Amino acid sequence: MLYELKNVSKRYTQSGKEILALDDIDLSIDAGEFVALQGSTGSGKTTLLQMLGALDRPTAGSVLFDGSDLAVMSESQLTRLRSRAFGFIFQAFNLIPTLTAQENVETALVPLGMGATERRTKARAALGEVGLAERGGHAPAELSGGEQQRVAIARALVRTPRVILADEPTGNLDERTRDEIIALLEDLWRDRQQTIIVVTHDSQVAARASRRLRLDQGRIVSPDLLIASPSPSASPATTSPSPTA
């Protein structure tokens, strides 16, 4: 089991009001799963994703990742974990506007203390994997939305993370580009058994996942839809529902 969440709650204060973002969540995720988190705005799906990515700590409960509780780790331990185990993809791409596509991919390798030459080599290779080998020298402003998201995917992949966490990766893309991106993610899942956790409103995206979780007011409410684990020759999605933890 890669993740095990027990009694996880998250409260925070906004404009003087206390918000209960997550309410006593229990959840397990295995390595190699493609999990889609769905729900309306404010349901807590992004907060849950941030818990899973060690970007935030729960107010209560435990978040075990590979046996270690992220809730009690120090900030420096969490930072180290993020630099090695997780890759993030954001809705707004979150590329550094002043750096080129290749340099943006390199930013993921800076915390590893790698030399400049090795960094550049790996970044070029990652861009090649997403089909942008020729675009490495362009600034984000010179790339299309789909290209920018590919750069973000390359940045997430370049250090071979245990988990890729994507927050609405197709939210800012047109239909055709969305399909390209989600196909890319699906290929990663199928070909590399990459663990992927995606927050999405888009049912088309969710349909590609092996497991869908629906959140409402900080709770997992919908039955866990489990799709058989992919093999290189498997065809997509047959669902057999199983109850949530």
Partner 1 sequence: MFWTYLYRELRRRHRQAILTSLGLALGICLVVTVSAGASGVHDAQDQVLHSLYGVGTDITVTKNAAQGTGGPMQFGMNPGDADQQGKHFSRDRITGTPGIALVPASDVTSVIGLQGVDAAVGGLTLISVHVSGQFARVVGESSGSFPQPGSSGSGSGTPTQAPIKITSFSIAGVDVANQGIGPLSSATISSGRTFSAGEAKARVVVLDSGYAKQNSLSIGETMKIGGLKFAIVGLSKSASAGANVYMPLTRAQALAGEKGQVNQIYVKATSATQITQVKKEIKATINGATVTTAQDLADQVSGSLSSASKLANQLGKWLAVAALIAAVAVASLLTLSTVSRRVREFGTLKALGWKSRRIVAQVLGEALVQGLLGGAVGVGLGFVATVLIGKFAPSLQATVGSVGIPAAQASAGPGKFSGAGGAMRALTHTVTVSLHAPISLNLLAVAIALAIAGGLVAGGLGGWRAARLSPADALRRVD
Smallest gap from residue 106 Cβ to partner 1 (A): 6
Shortest Å, Cβ 63 to partner 1: 13
- As beta bridge partners, residue 69 has 64
State yes or no: residue 168 binds partner 1 (CB under 8 A): no
Burial of 123 (0-12, 13-18, 19+ CB in 10 A): buried
CA nearest 7: which of 64, 54, 49? 64
Ranges of beta strands (E only) in the chain are 3-14, 17-29, 34-39, 60-65, 68-69, 86-90, 163-167, 195-199, 211-216, 219-220, 224-227, 239-242
Closest to partner 1 by CB, 29 vs 48, is: 48
Q: Binders of partner 1 among 31-60, rule CB under 8 A? A: 46-47, 50, 53, 55-56
Q: Contact at 8 Å (CB) between 105 and 116? A: no
Which of residues 161 and 230 has its CB atom nearest to partner 1 in the complex? 161
Nearer to partner 1, 73 or 207 (CB): 73
**Minimal distance, residue 100 CB to partner 1, in Å:** 9
Closer residue to partner 1 in complex, CB, 165/205: 165
Residue 1 is a binding residue for partner 1 (CB under 8 A): no
From residue 137 to residue 156, the character string flagging contacts with partner 1 as x (rule: CB under 8 A) and all else as - is: ------------------x-
Q: Which residue has the tokens 């199928």?
A: 190
DSSP 200: -
Q: 228-232: which pairs have CB atoms within 8 A and are 24 or more residues apart?
A: 229/32, 229/33, 230/34, 230/189, 230/190, 230/193, 231/190, 232/190, 232/191
**Least distance in Å: CB of 170 to partner 1?**
17
- Which member of 83, 172, 193, 239 binds partner 1 (CB under 8 A)? 83
User: Is residue 189 packed enough to be buried (19+ CB in 10 Å), middle (13-18) or exposed (0-12)?
Assistant: buried
Applying the rule CB under 8 A, the residues between 92 and 111 that interact with partner 1 are 92, 94, 96-99, 103, 106-108, 110-111
Per rule CB under 8 A, is residue 80 in the interface with partner 1? yes
Nearer to partner 1, 19 or 125 (CB): 19
Sign, Cα dihedral of 229, 233, 236, 239: negative
72 in contact with partner 1 (CB under 8 A): no
Judged by the rule CB under 8 A, the positions of this chain that interact with partner 1 are 46-47, 50, 53, 55-56, 75-76, 79-80, 82-84, 86, 88, 90, 92, 94, 96-99, 103, 106-108, 110-111, 116, 119, 155, 167
